[in-house]
Amino acid sequence: MRQTALLITGIALLAACSGDPTAASTAAELQSRAAAAGAAAAGGASFGAAVNKDLATLRRATAPFHNFATASDAGWSTKITSCMTDPDGAGGMGFHYGNTDLIDGTASVDKPELLLYEPDKNGRLTLVAVEYIIPYTAHGREEAPPVLFGQQFKQNDVFQLWGLHAWVWKHNPSGMFADWNPTVNCDNTTDVMAMRHQ
């Protein structure tokens, strides 16, 4: 995790040195996210060395996607859902943007099928989490759940798939792999999809 934080800080410093005020703002945001990721990793120490290593790999792979345009250019351009929130109060998930080329029935730590973005008050999208999905057509609902990070995927009958969230970019008081995050909301958009907690 220390290497990930150093990598993100290095990217942030390079951006700040470019002289571009937007880049400097982005640099500060990246440094803040690196600190948050470090705190999240410290809280996840109980996952064990192998899972913490995989989480660090995931953070390295997705760090460039704090910039939504970069994520879109890299293939995560398909809007899968509006900003998702749970009307029963479990929290939110944000917008789901997918890389449809990756929705192939497999799951790889460094290639999440979906990126989750929370809308901020300035109209920007903030990367908060990822979701791995495997459609029932590739891995039947009646089969044993797929596993990643030592966690079993959960069934989602609404979307006919297995799913696993990883909140690697925003702390989730409900847990790193929980579906909903009580600190995520859709207050800054009118494009909202309310879906009850499963």
Which position has the higher pLDDT, 31 or 139?
139
| pLDDT surpassing 90 at residue 3 | no
Instruction: Please provide the DSSP assignment of 69-127 as one string.
Output: HHHHHTT--EEEEEEEEETTTTEEEEEEEE-GGG-SS--BTTB-SEEEEEE-TTS-EEE
Average model confidence (pLDDT) across the chain: 84
Give the tens place of pLDDT for each residue, 70-83: 999 999 999 999 99
Give the tens place of pLDDT for each residue, 90-116: 999 999 999 999 999 999 999 999 999
Taking the C-alpha atoms of 47, 129, 100 and 81 in order, what is their torsion angle to the nearest 10 degrees?
A: 130
Question: Distance (Å, rounded) from C-alpha 112 to C-alpha 178?
Answer: 16
Write down the pLDDT at residue 198.
Answer: 57
pLDDT band at residue 182 using 50, 70 and 90 as cut-offs: very high
Which residues contact residue 50 at a Cβ distance below 8 angstroms, ignoring those fewer than 6 apart? 150
Query: pTM for the full model?
Result: 0.81
Task: Report yes or no: 148 and 134 within 8 Å, Cβ to Cβ.
Answer: no
Which residues contact residue 32 at a Cβ distance below 8 angstroms, ignoring those fewer than 6 apart? none
Write down the pLDDT at residue 35.
Answer: 47
